[in-house]
Amino acid sequence: MDWRALSVSLWLGVGTVILLLPCGVWLGHALAARHFRGKGLVEALVAVPLILPPTVLGFYLLVAFGARSPLGAAFQSVAGQALAFSFPGLLLASAIANIPFVVQPIQRSFEAIPPDVRDAAACCGLTPWQRFVQIEVPLAWPGILTAAILAFAHTLGEFGVVLMVGGNIPGETRTLSIAIYDRMQAFDDRSAGLMAAVLLAVAVITLTITTVLGRRVGRRRG
Amino acid sequence: MRLPFLRSRLRRGVAVAVLTVGLPAFAQAQRAPIIAAAADLNVALTEIADRFAREQGQRVELVFGSSGTLARQIRDGAPFELFLCADEEFVEQLAGAALTRDRGTLYGTGRVVLFAPHGSPLVPSEGLDGLAKLIASGRVTRFAIANPEHAPYGRAAEAALRKRGLWESLRPKLVLGENVAQAAQFATTGNAVGGIIAYSLALSPNLQARGTFTLIPEADHSPLRQRMVLLTRAGRVAEQFYQYIQQPAARAILERYGFVVPQR
Amino acid sequence: MLRVSLRHTDPIPLDVAFTCGPGEVLAIFGPSGSGKTTILRSIAGLFTPHEALVRCGSETWVDTASGITVPPHRRRVGLVFQEYALFPHLTALGNVMTALGHRPRAERRRRAEELLDLVHLSAHTQRRPAALSGGERQRVAVARALARDPAVLLLDEPFAAVDRAVRRRLQDQIDEVRQVLDVPLILVTHDFDDVVRLATHLLILERGVVLEAGPLQSLTNRPDLAWLREAIGLGSLIEATVARADASRGLVELAFDGGTLVAPVRSLAVGTRVRVRIPAREVILATDAPRGLSLHNVLLGSVTAIHSEPQLDEVVVQMAVGNARILAEVTRDAVAQLGIVEGSRLHALIKSVSLEVQPTLPLIVEGAESKTGRGRGGSSS
Among C81, C101, C130, the residue with its CB nearest the CB of A126 is: C101
With a CB cutoff of 8 Å and minimum separation 6, the contacts of C249 are none
Q: Check pLDDT > 50 for residue A84.
A: yes
Q: Check pLDDT > 70 for residue A89.
A: yes
Contact between B40 and B146 under an 8 Å Cβ cutoff? The reply is no
CB contact under 8 A, A11 and B34: no
Contact between B201 and B40 under an 8 Å Cβ cutoff? The reply is yes
**What CATH number does the domain containing B207 carry?**
3.40.190.10
Q: Check pLDDT > 70 for residue C297.
A: yes
Q: Are residues B70 and B139 in the same domain?
A: no
* pLDDT at position C10: 76
The domain of B76 spans 22-109+225-256
Closest residue of chain B to A1, computed from CA coordinates: B21
Q: What angle do CA B38, B43, B45 make, to 5 degrees?
A: 65
Q: Could you say which residues from 31 to 50 on chain C have a Cβ atom under 8 Å away from some Cβ of chain A?
A: 41, 44-46
Chain C partners of A221 at a C-beta cutoff of 8 Å?
88-89, 128, 130
How does pLDDT run across B3-60, given as a tens digit for each residue? Answer: 444 455 556 655 555 444 333 444 444 678 999 999 999 899 999 999 999 999 999 9
Q: Are residues B171 and B202 in the same domain?
A: yes
Inform me whether the C-beta atom of residue A220 falls under 8 Å from chain C C-beta atoms. Answer: yes
* pLDDT at position B254: 93
Q: Are residues B195 and B134 in the same domain?
A: yes
Among A14, A76, A170, the residue with its CB nearest the CB of B13 is: A14
**B228 CA to chain A: closest CA distance, Å?**
19
All domains of chain C, ordered by start, with CATH? 2-223 (3.40.50.300), 231-359 (2.40.50.100)
Q: B138-152, B233-247, C171-185: which has the minimum mean pLDDT?
A: C171-185
What is the rounded average pLDDT for all residues in chain C?
A: 83
Inform me whether the C-beta atom of residue A134 falls under 8 Å from chain C C-beta atoms. Answer: yes
Is C359 exposed, middle or buried, given 0-12, 13-18 or 19+ CB atoms closer than 10 A?
A: middle
Inform me whether the C-beta atom of residue A126 falls under 8 Å from chain C C-beta atoms. Answer: yes
Strand partners, C101: none
* ipTM of this complex prediction, to 2 decimal places: 0.80
Is residue B9 one of the residues assigned to a domain?
no
* pLDDT at position C161: 76
* pLDDT at position C368: 37
Is residue B203 one of the residues assigned to a domain?
yes
DSSP letter string, B140-203: ---EEEE-TTT-HHHHHHHHHHHHTT-HHHHGGGEEEESSHHHHHHHHHSTT-SEEEEEHHHHT
Rounded Cα distance between B115 and B214, Å, is 7
Q: Are residues B99 and B128 in the same domain?
A: no
How does pLDDT run across B200-249, given as a tens digit for each residue? Answer: 999 998 889 999 999 999 999 999 999 999 999 899 999 999 999 999 99
Q: What angle do CA A151, A155, A160 make, to 5 degrees?
A: 135
Closest CA to C349 of C276, C281, C297, C275: C297
Confidence of residue C94 (pLDDT cuts 50, 70, 90): very high
* pLDDT at position A55: 85
Strand partners, C20: C2
Q: Are residues B61 and B136 in the same domain?
A: no
Chain A partners of B189 at a C-beta cutoff of 8 Å?
none
Calculate the alpha carbon distances from C175 to A60, A127, A137, C166, C200 in Å. 68, 31, 36, 14, 11
How does pLDDT run across B62-103, given as a tens digit for each residue? Answer: 999 999 999 999 988 889 999 999 989 999 999 999 999 999
* pLDDT at position C366: 41
Question: Per 3-state DSSP, what percentage of chain A is helix, strand, and coil (rounded to 5)?
Answer: 80, 0, 20
Q: Which residue has the higher pLDDT, A22 or A35?
A: A22
Rounded Cα distance between B65 and B74, Å, is 12
Q: Are residues B114 and B130 in the same domain?
A: yes
Q: Check pLDDT > 50 for residue B1.
A: no
Q: Check pLDDT > 50 for residue C375.
A: no
Q: Are residues B119 and B247 in the same domain?
A: no
How does pLDDT run across B126-139, given as a tens digit for each residue? Answer: 888 999 999 989 88
**C259 CA to chain A: closest CA distance, Å?**
47
Q: What whole-number percentage of chain C has pLDDT above 90?
A: 22
How does pLDDT run across C230-245, given as a tens digit for each residue? Answer: 656 677 888 888 888 8
Confidence of residue C267 (pLDDT cuts 50, 70, 90): confident
Q: What whole-number percentage of chain B has pLDDT above 70?
A: 88
B77-110 burial: b if 16+ Cβ within 10 Å, else e: bbbbbbbbbbbbbbbbebbeeebbeeebeebbeb
Q: Are residues B97 and B140 in the same domain?
A: no
CATH of domain A3-113+140-221: 1.10.3720.10
Q: Are residues B50 and B175 in the same domain?
A: no
Strand partners, B96: none
Confidence of residue C31 (pLDDT cuts 50, 70, 90): confident
How does pLDDT run across B167-180, given as a tens digit for each residue? Answer: 999 999 899 999 99
Confidence of residue C145 (pLDDT cuts 50, 70, 90): very high
Q: Check pLDDT > 80 for residue A146.
A: yes
CB contact under 8 A, A81 and B79: yes
Q: What is the mean pLDDT of residues C314-325?
A: 86
Is residue B7 one of the residues assigned to a domain?
no
Confidence of residue A189 (pLDDT cuts 50, 70, 90): confident
* pLDDT at position B2: 47
Rounded Cα distance between B41 and B198, Å, is 9
Rounded Cα distance between C11 and C14, Å, is 9
Confidence of residue C381 (pLDDT cuts 50, 70, 90): very low
Is A121 exposed, middle or buried, given 0-12, 13-18 or 19+ CB atoms closer than 10 A?
A: buried
With a CB cutoff of 8 Å and minimum separation 6, the contacts of B233 are B79, B81
Strand partners, B226: B108
**C48 CA to chain A: closest CA distance, Å?**
14
Q: Could you say which residues from 30 to 69 on chain A have a Cβ atom under 8 Å away from some Cβ of chain B?
A: 62, 66-68
Q: Are residues B43 and B58 in the same domain?
A: yes
Q: Are residues B134 and B50 in the same domain?
A: no
Confidence of residue A221 (pLDDT cuts 50, 70, 90): low
CB contact under 8 A, B25 and A83: no
**Which chains would you list as touching A if contact means 3+ CB atom pairs under 8 Å?**
B, C
Closest CA to C349 of C308, C304, C288: C288
Confidence of residue C193 (pLDDT cuts 50, 70, 90): confident
Q: Check pLDDT > 70 for residue C288.
A: yes
Would you put residue A79 in left (φ > 0), alpha (ψ -120 to 50) or beta? alpha
Q: Domain map of chain A by residue range?
A: 3-113+140-221
* pLDDT at position A8: 93
Q: How many domains does chain B have?
A: 2
Chain B partners of A164 at a C-beta cutoff of 8 Å?
none
Q: A99-108, A203-212, C90-99: which has the minimum mean pLDDT?
A: A203-212
